[in-house]
Chain A
Amino acid sequence: MPSFDDALGIHPQALALRAKRSELIAANLANADTPGYRARDIDFREVFADEASPAKLRQTNGRHLSTLGADSSGYAIKFRQPLHASIDNNSVDAQAERAAFLDNALRHQASFTFLNGRITGMLAALRGE
């Protein structure tokens, strides 16, 4: 019997990952004036492919190694390649980060819309009206 999780598809994971990414970009923006800070982000496609793939290696213990880079949340967090060098070694491009944040928020909304559609559809099926 298929579960409700299957009916929701990939969207709950996508929503959670979007929220995680917004946190990282917010940290980059908060540290836009911090000397020596390196901007970080996740490669959404790579992380999401790993999240959504059925052959994912499960980590049942906190000491298990992740198949991606090492991070407590299991996401591979990468440093952003700066477009230009800065005198205080800060690699945050505030404009690019703002654009990334906006892009992320819109995609979060898209995932939300898809998920909401699935849930509304299931509710309609349950009611049988």
Chain B
Amino acid sequence: MSLFNVFEIAGSSLNAQMVRMNTTASNMANANSASSASGETYRARQPVFAPMMSAAMDNNQAAAGVQVLGIVESEAPLRREYRPDHPAADEQGYVFLPNVNVVEEMANMISASRSYETSIEVMDASKRMLQRTLMLGQ
């Protein structure tokens, strides 16, 4: 029954967007977590999305949901700031700040929230279509 697959597909999207929202929240929260060594500094994290092709092939259906393959850390250079009064400052008075781009994260958050809304609307519309089908002949 195709309409029930819609819930699976939209549900996978809700899950993926939630992971994206979580990484964004984590990045924003740690945007100013300074540390004294570059190895210990927080790095921006991003989820990697991919279509759920294998599951779709197994169930003999053409439509595929979305899955999170994993979370990667950004390779962008860390920010190095001169703050001799900071408790985590090294001998030269420098601290390392995470490579989080706050503006990018904000845009990411809005995009994730819009995609989440769209999936909810798709589920709602499918629910109404199914309910209508159940009323057939009444």
Contact = CB atoms under 8 A, between A and B. Distances in A.
A41 B64 CA distance: 12
Most buried by A among B10, B63, B119, B125: B63
Contacts of A102: 125
B51 to A, nearest CB: 5
A52 B112 CA distance: 41
Interface string A71-115: 111010100000000000000001000100110010011001001
Q: Is the interface of A mostly helix, strand, loop or mixed?
A: helix
Contact of B5 (A23, A34, A105): A23
A35 interface: yes
A120 B99 CA distance: 65
Contacts of A31: 13, 49, 51, 64-66
Interface of A: 15-16, 19-20, 22-27, 29-35, 37, 40, 71-73, 75, 77, 94, 98, 101-102, 105, 108-109, 112, 115-116, 119-120, 123
8 contacts: A19-B3, A26-B126, A27-B63, A30-B66, A77-B62, A102-B125, A108-B132, A116-B136
